[in-house]
Amino acid sequence: MDSGIGLLAAAAAVRRLRPDADLVLSSDPDGMPWGPRSAEDVTRRALECTRAAAAHGLDGLIVACNTASVHALPALRAAFEPGLPIVGTVPAIKPAAAAHRKVAIWATPATTGSSYQRGLIAEFGNGAGITEVACPGLADAVQHADPDAIAAAIAVAATRTPADVSAVVLGCTHYELVVDRISAAVPGAELLCSADAVAAQALRRVPATPGGGTLAVLLSGRSESLPAAALAYPEGAGLAVTPATA
């Protein structure tokens, strides 16, 4: 579940680890972006996305959205656990700060400076110098697969990133879809993503029920195909091909 196509990275990671897993991708393009919305509105929309997905008989839920993980995890867990295990997305601050002394966190304006992110820095920062970098417009540009807007937003964020950082934590799942372009804008810095770790954690918690590798797509509760913008990224194009036809 995510506001938009940022969930593709985690879904693709699950597919790599469990090609037979049946996937339900539930997003809210009608309400995207979630970043500027209030915590209450994000929580309401996250609950709606989850209810729509849960009607498909889920074994587990990945909240593949940093904004929803910041604001909605307690409400989601209260509503659906223990029957439906829920795994949130946490930016990779801990491994970044364990290996690097100068770290930047790229995130949406709503997440940047939030008490949630500041708490993670305090808990896992390991004494590293950590710079929070707001990236206005980047998630929306990725959502629409707009190369010019993506390039412009990345360029602005890169100018806000200290030249001496050796690691950049991607604190928005949308950003993982353009990791190569971000890497080119901050040469020499290691980029740390969350999708692989989140997928592995979800599969540890979810029973290994065999499936057929099917894909269901819900857009603001409506059963649809993957949007054209999703197919512009390798993660989306790969998910569109079922294991049986790969």
Kindly report, residue by residue over 146-171, the tens digit of the pLDDT. Answer: 999 999 999 999 999 999 999 999 99
pLDDT at 241 over 90: no
How far from chain centre, in Å, is Cα 169?
12
Percent of the chain clearing pLDDT 90 (strictly above): 83
Catalytic residue set: 65, 172
Task: List the domain boundaries for the chain.
Answer: 5-89+196-239, 93-193
| pLDDT at res. 243 | 59
Three-state DSSP class for 36? coil
pTM check: above 0.85: yes
Q: Sort strands 222-224 and 215-219 into parallel, antiparallel or unpaired.
A: antiparallel
| pLDDT at res. 242 | 63
Helices in the chain by DSSP H: which ranges?
Answer: 8-17, 39-54, 66-71, 73-80, 93-99, 115-124, 138-143, 147-159, 179-185, 195-205, 228-231, 234-239
Cα gap 62→206, rounded to integer Å: 11
Least confident of 52-66, 126-140, 196-210: 196-210
Is the distance from CB of 3 to CB of 27 less than 8 angstroms?
Answer: yes
Model confidence band, residue 71 (pLDDT cutoffs 50, 70, 90): confident
Pick the CATH number of 93-193 from 3.90.1170.40, 3.40.50.720, 1.10.260.40, 3.40.50.1860: 3.40.50.1860
Is the distance from CB of 13 to CB of 89 less than 8 angstroms?
Answer: no
CB atoms within 10 A of CB 144: 18
Eight-class DSSP state of 241: S
The CATH-assigned architecture of domain 5-89+196-239 is 3-Layer(aba) Sandwich (3.40)
pLDDT tens digits for 72-119? 999 999 999 999 999 999 899 999 999 999 999 999 887 888 888 899
